[in-house]
Amino acid sequence: MGNLNDQKNKKIPLKDFQVLLKEAWDIYYPKFLKIIGLQLLPLIPLALFSSLVLFLGISMFSNLFSKSDFAQDLIYFGLLVFILFLVLIYFMSVFITAIYIILQDSEGKVTLSQAIRKSFKHALPFFWVYFLSGLAMFFGLILFIIPGILIAVLFSFSKWAYVLEGFRGTKALKRSKELIDGYFGDVLGRYLVIAIPYVLFPSMVGILTSNSSSINSLFFAGPLILVFQIFNFLLPPFIFTYILVIYRDLYRIKGQSTIQK
């Protein structure tokens, strides 16, 4: 009888990080070109935003000495830039949401255009979850680095909670915490496997390039910075995927949520 109770109370382990990394790679690699496309497409609204702000700024300041109501024009300029910035954030959210939609597609049937069209409907709720989790982490970092890290881990599944299970706002954060309860150390350990190289590599690049003399910088620092930029471009979607497979593994262990949507 005691052995039976022990078996019931025994904690089901998460998959080893090697297995999770392989599963993440198996999801990421076939969708690589779609993900790259979704990372490059935001450059279009970003370029338009920059061009419009530059054009409006030049137009306004060219009339600096010819108009008496410059202060009023400055207010209008600020409001217009703010509106354009909100539009830019929306489009950025569309493309980030589309990456999540592509990654969660197990069968790989969702095309790039389908993911983008679908993400227009989900971009605002997704951004709100993103904002709330970022805000919580920000306040945690104000307290100290360790509380910030703890909060970041607790709410790291909130975006996937929205994409996979439809939890919105603070309920997505609660769902993330619900999944991690009892597995915080396990999840943190698996995050460190990928977080340590992600932090160490830029630090190494910074140290090596700062010590490069002007003579060999063209042959050493330049290529190293290029490798770093490629690394920084390709790794974030893989991290999203890695978090996805951990989420699915925790869902396998814990099942459906008790939180009402």
User: Where are the chain's structural domains?
Assistant: 2-254
CA 261 – CA 247 distance, rounded (Å): 18
Distances (CA, A) of 127 to 55, 93, 119, 204: 29, 6, 11, 33
pLDDT value at residue 8? 47
Q: What is the DSSP string of 118-130?
A: HHHHHHHHHHHHH
pTM: 0.82
9 DSSP assignment? H
Tens digit of each residue's pLDDT (9 = 90 or more) over 42-62: 888 888 888 877 777 777 666
| Closest residue by Cα to residue 40 from 240, 242, 237 | 237
Where helices occur in the chain by DSSP H, the ranges are 2-9, 17-28, 32-40, 43-62, 70-104, 112-143, 145-154, 158-165, 169-180, 184-210, 221-254
- pLDDT at 63 (0 to 100): 63
- List phi, psi (to 5°) of 223: -60, -35
Give the Cα separation of 168 and 163 in Å (integer).
9
First to last CA, the chain: 39
Half-sphere exposure (Cβ direction) of 207: Cα atoms closer than 13 Å: 6
Q: What is the pLDDT of residue 209?
A: 62
Residue 132 neighbours by CB under 8 Å, 6+ apart: 158, 169, 170, 172, 173
Q: Is the dihedral of CA 63, 68, 72, 75 positive or negative?
A: positive
Closest CA to 129 of 160, 154, 83: 160
Give 10-residue mean pLDDT values along the chain (261 residues): 49 91 94 90 83 75 60 74 86 92 88 92 93 87 80 93 94 94 93 84 67 54 71 86 95 88 73
pLDDT of residue 43: 84
Torsion sign over Cα 48, 50, 52, 54: negative
* Per-residue pLDDT at 181: 92
Cβ atoms of 126 and 163 closer than 8 Å: yes
For 156, the token pair is 């790291």
Structure tokens at 76: 């209008």
Decide if 223 contacts 47 (C-beta within 8 A). Answer: no
